[in-house]
Chains A and B, each alone.
Chain A
Amino acid sequence: GENVEQHPSTLSVQEGDSAVIKCTYSDSASNYFPWYKQELGKGPQLIIDIRSNVGEKKDQRIAVTLNKTAKHFSLHITETQPEDSAVYFCAAPISGGGADGLTFGKGTHLIIQP
């Protein structure tokens, strides 16, 4: 099955700076890569995703890039704000098209310093 590695486990940045979280995956057949944000005391929530037919996707201050050759994808957050403080998870389909669920990275605790 798919294996997803995520780095770093903790990331502290100054408010207004950029943050980058990186993930690698093992199954070259994987074709969908979402990112989830988990705020304190809540369940994870999808914030952005990318499919394997594109290299980059952007939504306001967040963007995701995908390098299929190297089998890695990254989350970029620009102009960080206090509300960006959370745990972020990357994910990939457990197998095939993802109908049987997602496998998640171990998470990155993003801390925005005022």
Chain B
Amino acid sequence: DADVTQTPRNRITKTGKRIMLECSQTKGHDRMYWYRQDPGLGLRLIYYSFDVKDINKGEISDGYSVSRQAQAKFSLSLESAIPNQTALYFCATGTPGGRELFFGEGSRLTVL
């Protein structure tokens, strides 16, 4: 089984719909991250969390929210999806100090 699991792997939705992407991990890491990948733009940080009570905005947090339900679970929500949120989303965990990130296999979201 994968150390970092993302669900769903693929999702097509319509503008205005609420979407939740879920992430769970078995690495035992406190640090968890959500990144977005777009062609030609690399990976950009949306939100990150150091523990259940800690949530921090990243570079591109507008239009997104997150919830850290437990040490092992970190979900990303789009309250009202729009087409320019069409992208590949990655959840990652980080070693103490955040030096190494372990990524899930990604969730591809298409907003029509």
Residue numbers of A with Cβ under 8 A of B are: 1, 6, 9, 32, 34, 36, 41-46, 49, 89, 93-94, 97-107
Q: In whole Å, how far is A46's beta carbon from the nearest beta carbon of chain B?
A: 5
CA A41 to CA B104, docked complex, whole Å: 11
Docked CA distance A21–B43 (Å): 17
Interface of B is mostly: strand
A10 to chain B, nearest CB (A): 10
A79 to B98, CA, bound (A): 32
The distance from the CB of A44 to the nearest CB of chain B, in whole angstroms, is 5
Interface residues on B, range: 20 to 34
B98 with A107: CB separation less than 8 A? no
A104→B43 contact, CB < 8 A: yes
Main secondary structure of the interface of A (DSSP, over half): loop
Residues of B within 8 A of A (CB): 4, 31, 33, 35, 40-45, 48, 50, 56, 58-59, 90, 92, 94, 97-101, 103-106
CA A98 to CA B105, docked complex, whole Å = 22
* Minimum C-beta distance from B102 to chain A (A): 8
CB distance from A35 to the nearest CB of B (A): 12
Other contacts beyond A101-B98, A101-B101, A106-B42: 8, CB < 8 A: A6-B42, A41-B106, A43-B4, A43-B104, A44-B43, A46-B100, A49-B99, A104-B43
Question: Which B residues lie within 8 Å of A107 (CB)?
Answer: 40, 42
Query: Could you give 8 example pairs across A and B, Cβ below 8 Å?
Result: A34-B99, A36-B101, A43-B105, A45-B103, A97-B97, A98-B97, A99-B31, A104-B44
